[in-house]
Structure 1
Amino acid sequence: MSGFGRYLGAALAARFASEGMGMAVVLLALERTGSAAYGAFVLTAWLAPHVLAAPLAGVLAARARRPRVFYPGTLAGFTAAVAALAVLLGRVPMPAVVAVAVLGGTCGPMVTGGLSSLVAGLVPAGAARDRAYGWDASTYNAAAVTAPAVVGLVAAVGSAGPAMAVLALSGALAAALAATLPYGHEDAGRDHPAHPVEGPPQRSRAGMGAGLAALWRVRELRAVTSATTLAFIGIGSLTTTSVLLAAELGSPRAGGVLMTAFALGALGGSLTLGRMTSVEPGRLVRWALAATGVALAGAAFAPSVAVTAVLFAAAGVCDGPVLTATLRIRSEHAPDAVRTQVFTLGAGLKLTAASAGAALVGIAADAPAWTLLTGIAGLQLAAALLHALVAARGPVPGSVTGPSAASATAPAGRRNPGGP
């Protein structure tokens, strides 16, 4: 199996474990304590560290003397936390459970943006790398479809404990596969001897603020980060809204059907529209966000669950290419010395925005569901407009982009001549 093939296996296994945690933690808490609120509190502790840990995770990854140890090690830490929660939740005092959840959550940025930052070192630049990011994006969507279904099935047949064990085993598989990946220019070249690829930059001394500065100063990064963060406030509230909408349509249990339709559509969109390398990624982000908003607006006024599910699937198809295009933009425009920071920060900001969206829809849960879904659609359209406005502006004064950005950010004597 090629290096990129092993990468996809590791990414899918890690993201499967991550995507299943939301349902598994709540089910396990309900089973052992009778309180879903307990599970929600633990899940908040699991998600909260993502944005705070993202800059540190990026810096540590860039400075790691032995990335072959660091990446599998963080995945192993993530896995250990999942396994510990499976044993401890509901059986030991809550502060200890929350502490474990916080520690596991600090490894979260490496499961998302941290892993995605490795693609540039595994696949040569050009159309092949663009397609690789399409496959990488599909691992998120595939995990979003399969993980909740597997957790629900295992919990229904047995209990939530074994369901958590399945997630831990998936995390362990991810760590094992990550240990086999080529790290560095020399190893990666052996996987693609005819097409040398850029390895990760030499150990970087860039501080934690360097990644955030790049997100602000590089126009393309600023545009896609601001737009997708705004959009994810809506996406984060979509699950709760789908349940409320299904209830209004007379089928309270159909909320899962709507979200499954959205996830399946997103998987299909990432594997088809997301692989359109002939389309400039910034333009793809704008049109995909706008189309997602239009489809969700239509779903808000659909007369039945069946029609709503079709429109949710259409919205998912439109949303699928957004992640692929986002990954391409980060790869092409992130300075080499802070590439991992850019990926982990971008993922952390989106997760935080999604958490905020979930909290907001909880506050507004008494409002008609169609108004909530209309608001989510409006956020997607606003995100498309925001991207267009930010992308049209020039770079922040004093900023640099492209290969020169890598040189400007890298410490003297440690330049990476490849550039993104």
Structure 2
Amino acid sequence: MRPSTDHPVDEPGWGPLARYVIAATLARTSDGGAVVAIVLMVNTSGGSGWLAGALGACITAPHLLGPFVARSLDTARDSRTVIAAASLAHGTTLAAAVLLYPHTHPAVTAVLLTISGLFGPLLTGGISSRLPAIAGPSQRRQRRAQGWDVATYGISGTVGPTLVAAVSAWASPATAALTLAAGCYIAAAVIRFLPYAPAPGKTADVPRPLRTLTGILASGPLRRTLYLTVTVAFSVAALPVTAVSSTHTLGVSAAAAGILTAAYGLGNLAGSAGVMIRPSHTEADRLTTHLAATVAATLLLITLTPSFPLAVTAYAAAGIANAYFFAATLAARNEYAPDNARGQIFVWVGALKITAGSAGTAAAGALISTSAALPLLLAVALTIASTLLSLAERRHNRRYNAPCGPASPHTQPENGRPHPTGPTDRIHDCSNRG
């Protein structure tokens, strides 16, 4: 077989999307399961809990630096090469860290895992930035494809840890980590068979990482997408901690917490299926705001459930709501991002989302001893506050920009890609107000 030709495909069939789903699931399974494999490896070898946590953090913490290596997505002649190389590098450094751990100082393993973690953002937001070229110019096709993208995250987040646990029990944690590394190699090969998309422009026209972040904050729709994404990620990260703590008040054993988290995961997959079957036509900026409020409502529902069966239902509802919200944020990143910084914007939002999720888990762990409901009540308050801020911003922009002239050129289709129209896009007209 030969890689796809170097010509963009206007109306691709299901083949390119199927290859995308395979590549994204394999790469993200490795990224999501690596922490579990490392922690198990250290624990089974007699290492301390502190060392296991520190080495696990070496994989996750570098995600925050992802935007500083993501510029290559927007400058490379063929971004498939960049993502495939990142997948190979992630798998190779992970395998090297595992193989060398019993024979070297832990600092060597830490360095290798840190390098592996640096490539993680290119396997999450970086791969997602390829989706518009695969889905085609139709908004419906793009949003349906974004439902598949959400599903890859849900599948990998479930399959990764499960695969590691199963292989670790059957063989060893090191074997589990090497299995994840092998998945990266397969993903790299599949990525090379995705449709080609040309570079958006000259390298000199591609902004630097900090300038890209400034551009996100200056754009109303992208700014709102960013702080809503961060807030919701912080909020739903409290669910696993709350699930364990709430089993006592629900009158079930602690092991039942696994059922609650499984219900959330299944709900997430069901939500992504809903996006695939019936994608929304609502403007992405408005959609993210409404769905963030829906997530807050489901989190509040969890705190109010008096029985375990109702709690299972509430966790599933939270998973469904978060899947729809995640798909909406992917749509917003695609539809409002300028062509010459789309890859970086996907990675920036993804990196800050992962960081917020880690902070949310840590905050929930610190607050749970005070009250089992406190972490989720804080999450609800933060999410509602962000939603109200988003609504206020959009209302202010409508009033402030109403006298401005005709809609910006940015609302017109560009290179066959639809841009949403509406008051929020008038930020491009009146000196970038709002």
TM-score category of the 2 structures, normalised to the smaller one = 0.7 to 0.9
CA contact (8 A) 1:28 1:89 kept: no
Say whether 1:152 aligns with 2:165: yes
Say whether 1:171 aligns with 2:184: yes
From 317, 332, 335, give the equivalent of 1:332.
Answer: 335
Residues 106-143 of structure 1 show CA distances to partners (whole Å, capped at 9, x for unaligned) of: 10111111111111112222211121111112111121
CA contact (8 A) 2:272 2:323 kept: yes
Corresponding residue number in structure 2 for 1:224: 225
CA contact (8 A) 2:35 2:59 kept: no
Corresponding residue number in structure 2 for 1:213: 214
Is the alpha carbon distance of 1:237 and 1:403 closer, same or farther for their aligned partners in structure 2, counting shifts above 3 Å? farther
Structure 2 alignment gaps of length 5 or more: 1-13, 402-406, 420-434
Report the Cα offset of residue 229 of structure 1: 0.7
Report the Cα offset of residue 324 of structure 1: 0.8
* CA distance in 1: counterparts of 2:393 and 2:114, whole angstroms: 35
Is the alpha carbon distance of 1:87 and 1:256 closer, same or farther for their aligned partners in structure 2, counting shifts above 3 Å? farther
Matches within 5 A, 1:244-393: 244-249=245-250, 250-273=252-275, 275-393=278-396
- Provide the secondary structure at the position in 1 that maps to 2:203: coil
Report the Cα offset of residue 359 of structure 1: 2.2
Corresponding residue number in structure 2 for 1:80: 92
Corresponding residue number in structure 1 for 2:242: 241
Q: Give the partner amino acid of 1:86.
A: V
* CA distance in 2: counterparts of 1:372 and 1:157, whole angstroms: 37
* CA distance in 2: counterparts of 1:51 and 1:224, whole angstroms: 18
From 22, 35, 38, give the equivalent of 2:35.
Answer: 22
* C-alpha RMSD of the superposition: 2.6
Report the Cα offset of residue 219 of structure 1: 1.2
Corresponding residue number in structure 2 for 1:194: none
CA contact (8 A) 2:137 2:416 kept: no
Is the alpha carbon distance of 1:348 and 1:87 closer, same or farther for their aligned partners in structure 2, counting shifts above 3 Å? same
Report the Cα offset of residue 376 of structure 1: 2.5
Matches within 5 A, 1:53-202: 53-54=66-67, 56-89=68-101, 91-126=103-138, 127-184=140-197, 199-202=198-201
Give the TM-score of the pair, scaled to structure 2. 0.83
Is the alpha carbon distance of 1:72 and 1:90 closer, same or farther for their aligned partners in structure 2, counting shifts above 3 Å? same
Report the Cα offset of residue 220 of structure 1: 0.9
Q: Give the partner amino acid of 1:131.
A: R
Residues 86-115 of structure 1 show CA distances to partners (whole Å, capped at 9, x for unaligned) of: 323454312111111110111011111111
Report the Cα offset of residue 248 of structure 1: 4.7
- Provide the secondary structure at the position in 1 that maps to 2:326: helix
Report the Cα offset of residue 405 of structure 1: 9.9
CA contact (8 A) 2:37 2:176 kept: yes
Report the Cα offset of residue 402 of structure 1: 7.2
Say whether 1:50 aligns with 2:63: yes
- Provide the secondary structure at the position in 2 that maps to 1:152: helix
CA contact (8 A) 2:200 2:340 kept: yes
* CA distance in 2: counterparts of 1:10 and 1:215, whole angstroms: 28
Residues 13-68 of structure 1 show CA distances to partners (whole Å, capped at 9, x for unaligned) of: 111111212322222221113433322211212111112222x2221221224434
* CA distance in 2: counterparts of 1:344 and 1:263, whole angstroms: 23
Is the alpha carbon distance of 1:64 and 1:372 closer, same or farther for their aligned partners in structure 2, counting shifts above 3 Å? same
Report the Cα offset of residue 403 of structure 1: 6.0
* CA distance in 2: counterparts of 1:130 and 1:143, whole angstroms: 20
CA contact (8 A) 1:403 1:418 kept: no
Report the Cα offset of residue 166 of structure 1: 2.2
Report the Cα offset of residue 272 of structure 1: 0.2
* CA distance in 2: counterparts of 1:403 and 1:76, whole angstroms: 40
